[in-house]
Amino acid sequence: MNKVKVTDGIFYVGVDDETIDLFESQYEVPEGVSYNSYVIMDEKIAVMDTVDKRKTEEWMEKLQGVLEDRTPDYLIISHLEPDHASSIKILAEKYPAMQLVGNAKTFQMFGNFFQMDIEGRTVVVKEGDSLSLGKHELSFYMAPMVHWPEVMVEYEKTEKVLFSADGFGKFGALRMKESPAEAKLEDWACEARRYYFNIVGKYGAPVQTLLKKASGLDIQMICPLHGPVLKENLEYYIGKYQTWSSYEPEDKGILIAYASIHGNTKEAAYKLAEYIGEKEKVVLTDLSRQDMSEAIEDAFRYDRMVVAAPTYDGGMFPVMEDFLRHLKSKAYQKRKVGIIENGSWAPMAGKLMKGLLEEMKQIEVIEPVVTVTSALNEASTKAIEALAESLVK
Ligand SMILES: Cc1cc2nc3c(=O)[nH]c(=O)nc-3n(C[C@H](O)[C@H](O)[C@H](O)COP(=O)(O)O)c2cc1C
Ligand SMILES: [Fe+2]
Ligand SMILES: [Fe+2]
């Protein structure tokens, strides 16, 4: 079996999952996903996280290939979420002398996941502690709520590598053969952004805290728990994380997120896009048909958004409510938002969408709120034109 080297002393033993239907039972991953795990080979051997139980066997084989006849001294547990931790027990049972390295919160939660006796086998680290492996030395930095409470990252100072847990992760299998897959700048952001906003999005402030800690380290390489190793242009990736975690828009443009039962609200959305499209970038998404996580990604990406939905049983059309509740739970904020509602006898969707938007921070509703009464007519078409003008102003 090929050993995949990240550096002279660090090996990649992660695995691809290309058969999972939905990541976290929610996110489509048309290109799969990788569960990354690394091994530092030195006088002492450290395994950096495990993988999802869907892939335990394949991971163990790779690990064996790197270890040959040696045994690991430490398992570093950055994160207890099962996509990284659900193979811990099997590894710990195979190597009874191996110590488990985590922080106080890791071990508070550990027993909820695993029924196993780890007394005498734990190394509890705190902020700034270090662990020498020989030539390599790991330092630990706590990253609570990025995006679980027990998350920590590790910095290896000899090779200047940051093991960043889920931070800087990206959807997509790696399909690597002999060398570690390195990110290609042009296609990293798309799936890394969708990953970030949907999974970590709510926790901008803790991410900012972590970035501050990281800025004090000389980092030459980032090894995340999903997606490629980042080596070149680190300022690009870190810059993206700065933007995303501060909730600042990344690009100028307008997302029009619509839902429509019979097509009239859709027509209004397209009409608006036509008016705007002459002047600015506009992206349309049909919330009933297109992937919700893509819509969330685009809502955060652009500086403006328009929501358009029919009234439905006195409420708003359900996928719109779902979308807005998702945005709220991911702390959507600092954006300008336009509203188009539709209703045949008592339009309510506009008021309700506005109400949900007002529960979010620093959302400016752009006037006029457009009401379509069943199908577009002269008045509502004019209102759409007026909304387009306020949006591009
Ligand atoms: C099941 C159902 C419930 C509806 N409930 C309401 C309602 O409570 N109030 C209202 O004004 N219109 C209601 N409507 C009408 C739609 O909001 C209206 O026909 C709208 O024009 C549909 O826009 P669309 O062509 O984009 O689907 C309802 C329609 C359906 C199918
Ligand atoms: Fe996670
Ligand atoms: Fe993860």
The domain ranges of the chain are 4-245, 251-392
Strand 74-76 to strand 33-35: parallel, antiparallel, or no bridges (unpaired)? unpaired
Q: Report whether pLDDT(235) > 70.
A: yes
The answer to whether 238 and 189 have CB atoms below 8 angstroms apart is no
Regarding the beta carbon of 140 and ligand 1, being less than 6 Å apart is answered no
Among residues of the chain, what percentage have pLDDT more than 70? 98
- The arithmetic mean of pLDDT across residues 111-120, rounded, is 96
What's the mean pLDDT in 76-82?
98
* String of DSSP letters for 324-363: HHHHHHTT-EEEEEEEEEE-SSS--HHHHHHHHHHTSEEE
| Per-residue pLDDT at 184 | 74
CA of 328 to the centre of ligand 2 (A): 20
Structural class in CATH, domain 4-245: alpha beta
**Arithmetic mean of pLDDT over the chain:** 96
Please work out whether the CB of residue 371 comes within 6 Å of at least one atom of ligand 1: no
Q: Which of 287, 307, 342, 380 to mutate to test the pocket of ligand 1 (most atoms within 8 A of CB)?
A: 342
Region 249-258: mean pLDDT is 98
Average pLDDT over residues 367-378: 98
Residues 185-230: tens digit of each pLDDT? 768 999 999 999 999 999 999 999 999 999 999 999 999 999 999 9
**Ligand 1 contact, 261 CB (< 6 A):** yes
CA of residue 136 to ligand 2 center, whole Å:
26
Mean pLDDT, rounded, for 87-99: 98
Give the percent of the chain with pLDDT over 90.
95
Distance between CA 335 and CA 140 in Å, rounded? 36
Query: What is the CATH code for 251-392?
Result: 3.40.50.360
Q: Is residue 36 in contact with ligand 1, taking CB distance under 6 Å?
A: no
- For the stretch 22-44, pLDDT in tens is 999 999 999 999 999 999 999 99
Instruction: Give the DSSP per-residue string, 36-80.
Output: --EEEESSSEEEE----GGGHHHHHHHHHHHHTT---SEEE-S--
Q: Is the CB of 128 under 6 A from ligand 1?
A: no
Q: What atom in ligand 1 is closest to the CA of residue 309?
A: 26
* pLDDT band for position 178 (cuts 50, 70, 90): low
Element (H, E) at 163: strand 161-163
Residue 305's pLDDT is what?
A: 98
- Helix H segments across 138-226? 185-195, 204-215
The pLDDT-based confidence of 176 (bands split at 50, 70, 90) is confident
Band of pLDDT at residue 124, cut at 50, 70 and 90: very high
* pLDDT score for 1: 64
Which ligand 1 atom is the nearest neighbour of the CA of 315?
Answer: 8
- How far is the centre of ligand 1, averaged over its atoms, from the C-alpha of 309 (Å)? 9
Query: Which element (helix H / strand E) includes 389?
Result: helix 378-392
Q: Which helix (H) or strand (E) holds 82?
A: helix 82-85
Structure letter (DSSP) for residue 313 = T
Q: Which residue has the higher pLDDT, 175 or 194?
A: 194
**DSSP state, residue 248:** -
Q: What is the mean pLDDT of residues 63-74?
A: 97
Ligand 1 and 345: CB distance under 6 A: yes
Instruction: Provide the 10 A C-beta neighbour count for residue 128.
Output: 10
Burial of 359: CB neighbours in 10 Å, binned 0-12, 13-18, 19+: exposed
